Amino acid sequence: MQQLDKKTTWRVLIASLVGSSIEWFDYFLYGTMAALVFNQLFFVNEDPTVGLLLAYASFALSFFIRPFGGIIFSHIGDRIGRKKTLVLTLSLMGAATIAMGILPTYQAIGVAAPIILITLRLIQGLGIGGEWGGALLLATEYAPPERRGFFGSIPQMGVTIGMVIGTLALWIMSLLPEQQFMTWGWRVPFILSALLVIFGLWIRKGIDETPEFKKVKEKGEIPKLPIADTLRYYWKEVLITIGAKVVETAPFYIFSTFIVSYGTSTLGFSRSAVLGAVMVSTVITTILIPIMGSLSDRVGRKKMYIVGTLAMMAFAFPYFWMIHQGSVLMLVVATIIGLGIIWAPITAVLGTMFSEIFDAKVRYTGVSLGYQIGAAVAGGTAPLVATALLASFDNSYVPVALYIMFTALVSLIAIWAVKSRVEQTVMTGKISSAK
């Protein structure tokens, strides 16, 4: 692969990062609003717990549409190109988010409000289903082999950067009096996301198609139906990515989304204290992700992933013990350890590791399908599962901690399969640079 000049390198990295950041800003904005606003303004119920469960269910629902978004847009990405697909996904996601900001509430239009909100949420899910795979491949398919881990970690920073921007926007709006926040303040971040979308589309305009996709096109190897080839020849790799995704996504939503409602309603923390803890933690993990990605180029992706997964398993019970002490400081420290430090090596290497076990001609489809199914199974359901476990076990956090440990175990089994599978693919010549 030819060496990239510094200007091209920066353009590629920024283009892969900015779209991912915008997508996840929109996405996490909904997750937090589900806990603070939507349960009162859209999913109205006499029982507050039922309203919260309905709001979380709408949050989880879009995760199940994400694999379909992955299939649709990865088909376009594997046949037409990564760049054009990324423009489509960003536009779709942005339009849905802006529409949420101007949507009338249940009090204004009745049951149509939650129906329209869910529809917009599904559109968001379609967009993010195709965005992540494209952003990842934009980075890794331009990357020099010896720096693939670093390049692949950059779009992963978009998850936390988007969350920092979203959390900061909500924190500023939460300074408003409660009545003003519930009336119009919560709408502002949704509407202002239009500026981010415009910037994202502009920054991607000057990026050329990835070198690896160009090679596939020149060789005439573009598949007629990428999903069929993926399921026929790479179904084991898809299962591996689903399992490996579990520990990266479920604990993340426990630490970042579920804690918002749990910390405020059950533990008595202020909304600003919980949001502040999450924001500080995401800033720390944003800094650590590229460091961990670069380190994986030297020590290997799997070793770093295993260390992070074992640490996640070990921290499940200490995390809940710490936040139950009633101290804001302990809340912040616990969130920093779980979300800011332990999670960083897992997410930093995940995308690169996935891209290395699929052939370029079906890579967009393979990584998107496995990643999005894993997110649907374990990510969107995590706040819902945690809330249901609390309700079923008299607000005991023990089942939730065991749930986190279970997700780590599932991913440890998957990562063992990654090791044997990568070795096999190297021997069969499917890929040449897996670590």
Q: Is residue 333 very low, low, confident or very high in pLDDT (cuts 50, 70, 90)?
A: very high
**pLDDT at position 3:** 61
Tell me, what amino acid is at 416? W
Tell me, what amino acid is at 307? V
- Distance CA(18)–CA(191), nearest Å, equals 18
The pair of three-digit structure tokens given for residue 5, joined into one six-digit string: 């000049």
Within a 10 A sphere around the Cβ of 427, how many other Cβ atoms? Answer: 8
**pLDDT at position 134:** 87
Mean pLDDT for 132-139 is 88
How many structural domains comprise the chain?
Answer: 1
Residue 27 has pLDDT above 80, yes or no: no
Phi, psi for residue 434 in degrees, rounded to 5: -70, 145
- Distance CA(142)–CA(135), nearest Å, equals 11
Mean pLDDT for 75-86 is 86
Q: Is residue 30 very low, low, confident or very high in pLDDT (cuts 50, 70, 90)?
A: confident
In a domain, 433, yes or no: no
**pLDDT at position 376:** 82
Contact 141, 213 (CB under 8 A): yes
- CATH of residue 158's domain is 1.20.1250.20
**pLDDT at position 337:** 96
Q: Which residue has the higher pLDDT, 435 or 153?
A: 153
Q: Is residue 4 very low, low, confident or very high in pLDDT (cuts 50, 70, 90)?
A: low
The pair of three-digit structure tokens given for residue 305, joined into one six-digit string: 């992933």
In a domain, 435, yes or no: no
Residue 228 has pLDDT above 60, yes or no: yes
Q: Give the 3-state secondary structure of residue 265.
A: helix
Q: How many CA atoms lie within 13 A of 304 on its CB side?
A: 29
The pair of three-digit structure tokens given for residue 379, joined into one six-digit string: 């990510």
**pLDDT at position 424:** 45
- Judged by average pLDDT, the poorest of 39-48, 158-167, 314-323, 343-352 is 39-48
Residue 388 has pLDDT above 80, yes or no: yes
Q: At what angle do helices 226-233 and 363-378 cross, to 10 degrees?
A: 70
* Mean pLDDT score of the chain: 85
Contact 282, 54 (CB under 8 A): no
Contacts of 206 (CB under 8 A, 6+ apart): 11
In a domain, 434, yes or no: no
**pLDDT tens, position by position, 173-225:** 888 888 898 889 989 999 988 888 888 888 777 777 888 888 888 888 888 88
- Judged by average pLDDT, the poorest of 58-72, 174-188, 391-405 is 58-72
Q: What is the percent of the chain where pLDDT is above 90? A: 32
In the chain, DSSP finds a helix count (H) and a strand count (E) of 20, 0
Give this prediction's pTM.
0.81
**pLDDT at position 19:** 78
- Distance CA(206)–CA(187), nearest Å, equals 32
- Distance CA(79)–CA(427), nearest Å, equals 27
Q: Is residue 287 very low, low, confident or very high in pLDDT (cuts 50, 70, 90)?
A: very high
Length of the chain: 435
- Distance CA(130)–CA(75), nearest Å, equals 9
**pLDDT at position 418:** 63
In a domain, 291, yes or no: yes
In a domain, 354, yes or no: yes
Q: Please give the distance of CA 103 from its chain centroid, rounded to a whole number.
A: 25
Residue 423 has pLDDT above 70, yes or no: no
Mean pLDDT for 34-48 is 77
Mean pLDDT for 272-292 is 91
Q: Is residue 46 very low, low, confident or very high in pLDDT (cuts 50, 70, 90)?
A: low
Q: How many CA atoms lie within 13 A of 27 on its CB side?
A: 36
What's the distance, Cα to Cα, between the start and end of the chain in Å? 18
Domain range for 396 is 6-428
- Distance CA(287)–CA(29), nearest Å, equals 21
